[in-house]
Chain A
Amino acid sequence: MDEKKKSKGLPKKERMKIPRTPMPEQDPKERSRNFSEVPLGYTPEMAIKEATRCLECKKPKCIIGCPVEVKIPEFIGLIAEGKFIEAAWTLKETNALPAVCGRVCPQETQCEITCVTGKKSKPVAIGRLERFAADYERAQGKMQIPEIAPPTGKRVAMVGCGPAGLTCAGDLIKLGHEVHIFEALHAPGGVLVYGIPEFRLPKAIVNAEVDYLIACGMKLHLNTIIGKMYTVHELMEEENFDAIFIGTGAGAPAFMRIPGENFANIYSANEWLTRINLMRAYEFPACDTPIHRGKIICTIGGGNVAMDSARTALRLGAEHSIVVYRRTRKEMPARDEEIHHAKEEGVEFHFLTAPLEYSADDEGKVTEMRCIRMELGEPDASGRRRPLPIEGSEFTIECDTVVVAIGNLANPIVPDTTPGLKLNKWGNIDADRETGATSIPGVYAGGDIVTGAATVIEAMGAGKVAARAMHEYLTKSETAATT
């Protein structure tokens, strides 16, 4: 207690001198062969020390950087005082999934980039502190159900139980609406369970956050594909939902459309990760879903999903896990931390390289990938320098497994079965960025199905924005109905 008080009382200058507290991690050699979580989390002592670095700015800039408007200085202040449970509750006032966000948010480009401490030294480790508080609360078993407004009598449906839908659900429950969430797969969480590997986000954490929302009153319907079992219109007309949020994600893998891409043992990242994360193929034959355990596994792409895929390849026992990316390290969209972890674990990188075609053996199983070297030209629409092929630079990479991690397109099931739902030219749902409103009154959308593949926290931000607009719509329509 004394130490806490002392740190809290430290003058700002002194606080700025405290170095950023590193996160203990599993040893790279050891962890590259297991599926346990890589960062081990702060101890209470580490958390207090790190929290003390926060200057508690009067006009905090970090909050502006957070898509779900977490009260950052407030929760960090509580950690500095040793009030960890209270810190977790503060987080949950605005963020339904703090243990998830503390792990997978790109804090370095959001809250931490604007941190004032970060101007002179390294920014306060906001993400690590968020993770600490949420984990602490869960470990103590002191999950608190927030205050819930009296029932409004309104029924709302969330289509898709990923980060967007869960966030939207969390906010609408607190406002007193009856919230039902529909999930196509047999487990809740969306990309948090089928996509992000156990070593980056343990499934138990996702389940605990979903259980929290269920405890708050959310009704979960698994194995229910909207567009097949019920259409969006049927939800409104036959199942009596007053408003709907579509957060189905960017669930359709993109392929390069190059020759040989349908050879066996060439996977989309979605299939590769789903087999391993959701279906536990790494436990085959104890679990029934198989996966090809290749010796040389090439992953195409440079994003977080590519890093997850390549790191998973090592854990399946690959002798070489090779990332093939057409630009350079600098242009990689993956988080620095993920690239760093991948390199530490032994993932190899072929930069400025693009696959041209695949070859296979008599059984149709991939044996090699013909590639071409690239060079960077002028910046393209994304602002990154456009990769251009170098004529005559073709070469081959031997491989027995390939994971294509070049992004996702819009899943067609809901758009195809919802007449009147306006789409953009890429097939994503056209929704107002300020409200999430779609072309159908009462139907809102957010997350990757609107933006194309983005981050968990951006999807959560969209869920929050939509929840606010839906609440307004639901309460307004009430007024309209009674007058």
Chain B
Amino acid sequence: MHEITYREVITPDVFLLKIKAPVIARKRKAGQFVIYRLHEKSERIPLTLADADPDEGTITLLFQAVGKSTMELGTKKAGDQILDVVGPLGKPTHLENFGTVVCIGGGIGVAPLYPIVQAMKDAGNNVVTIIGARTKDLLILEDMVKAASSELHICTDDGSYCEKGFVTDRLKHLVEQGVKPDLCVAIGPVVMMRAVCNMTREFNIPTVVSLNPIMVDGTGMCGACRVTVGGKTKFACVDGPEFDGHQVDFDELIKRQAAYLAEEKTAREKWTCESGQ
């Protein structure tokens, strides 16, 4: 059992939870994730770590309530327990002093991006961060990301905050202004990561993306999370979650992510009805 020590409602459907998990807090590295299972009947859900505090022995999860399992997690309060938390899973981000690293986060993807921004900065890089969201209210972690980055650029799809436009527009603008990134790290919705990769391919900027396919065990045992990278099948849980974005078959990923849309709808409706949420 893992106790929730702190809860914050970031936006109406984005939640931050600090969870007691001392060993994971001590061992996790940027880019890694955990799998949680709320109770006996729950699914195993992977979530990338947004932060950790080894002294406090807590890990921070920042997630959007989109399906039944995350909606249910979002109702949990400080003092509540989570049945299982396992991790740290996946390979850590490859860190070195590349020079200038552009870190791009879209929507909830800013959460897993944050520790990578920190780690890239610690590795001596000039970290130029771009974060974006559909609208102002959905923008998360602005202050923390700003503090960790060398410079921060913000955009919203609807122009309700900072620049109007997509993260790719900001990237293009920066490159045209003379920024020469040695590496790009992009985390967000698959369509965003695909768009970033299409652009960075043109600019010849090596690009790392963090993938979030459906998973079950998270230890390489089941192959649910298989993705095609460079024409080869990889398991995101043990070979990733980060891959060379220019090699990823995003179309296949989108289709595999949609495999259970009907079941997700059933579960969500049942949950909404039964919980009165």
A residues whose Cβ falls under 8 Å from a Cβ of B: 184-186, 194, 222-225, 228-230, 251-253, 255, 257, 261-265, 267-268, 270-271, 274-275, 279-280, 283-290, 292, 363-365, 411-413
Contact = CB atoms under 8 A, between A and B. Distances in A.
A271 B238 contact: no
A284 B263 contact: yes
A412 B68 contact: no
Contacts of B264: 290
The 9 closest A-B pairs by CB, nearest first: A364-B255, A290-B263, A271-B222, A264-B259, A251-B221, A223-B86, A268-B223, A288-B43, A186-B84
A264 B23 CA distance: 36
B172 interface: no
Given A279-B43, A288-B69, A270 B238 contact: no
Given A253-B221, A288-B267, A262 B256 contact: yes
Interface in B225-277: 226-228, 233, 235, 238, 252, 255-256, 258-260, 263-264, 266-267, 270
B263 A225 contact: no
A279 B258 contact: no
A223 B85 contact: yes
A228 B217 CA distance: 14
B258 A228 contact: no
A289 B222 CA distance: 14
Contacts of A364: 252, 255-256, 258
A224 B233 CA distance: 26
B267 A262 contact: no
Contacts of B175: none
B220 A411 contact: yes
A287 B39 CA distance: 10
Contact of A186 (B86, B227, B228): B86
A288 B42 contact: yes
Contact of A365 (B83, B226, B259): B259
A400 to B, nearest CB: 12
Contacts of A274: 216-217, 221-222
B57 to A, nearest CB: 14
11 contacts: A186-B44, A223-B85, A271-B224, A275-B216, A279-B43, A284-B263, A284-B267, A285-B270, A288-B267, A289-B44, A411-B219
Contacts of A261: 233
B24 interface: yes
B43 A289 contact: yes
Contacts of A228: 27, 87-89
Interface of B: 23-24, 27, 37, 41-44, 68-69, 83-89, 216-217, 219-224, 226-228, 233, 235, 238, 252, 255-256, 258-260, 263-264, 266-267, 270
Nearest to A263: B255
Given A184-B217, A223-B84, A411-B221, A229 B24 contact: yes
A365 B220 CA distance: 23
A288 B266 CA distance: 10
Nearest to B91: A416
A229 B27 contact: yes
Given A229-B23, A264-B259, A251 B220 contact: yes
Contacts of B260: 290, 292
Contacts of B258: 264, 363-364
Contacts of B221: 194, 251-253, 270, 274, 411
B255 A363 contact: yes
Contacts of A363: 255, 258
Q: Which of B219, B222, B227 has the most CB of A within 10 A?
A: B222
Given A185-B217, A223-B86, A264-B258, 11 more contacts: A223-B84, A228-B89, A251-B219, A262-B256, A270-B223, A271-B216, A271-B223, A274-B222, A290-B264, A411-B220, A411-B238
Most-contacted residue by chain B among A255, A265, A285, A292 (CB, 10 A) = A285
Contacts of A283: 41
Contacts of A264: 255-256, 258-259
A223 B82 CA distance: 13
Contacts of B89: 225, 228
A452 to B, nearest CB: 15
Contacts of B87: 225, 228-229
Given A229-B24, A262-B228, A288-B68, A255 B233 contact: yes
A285 B267 contact: yes
A253 B223 CA distance: 7
A230 B88 CA distance: 10
Contact of B266 (A251, A257, A285, A413): A285
Contacts of B23: 229-230
Contacts of B42: 288
User: Max chain B CB contacts within 10 Å: which of A186, A252, A292?
Assistant: A186
A224 B89 CA distance: 11
B219 A184 contact: yes
A253 to B, nearest CB: 5
Contacts of B227: 262
A288 B86 contact: no
Contacts of B255: 263-264, 363-365
Contacts of A186: 37, 44, 83-84, 86
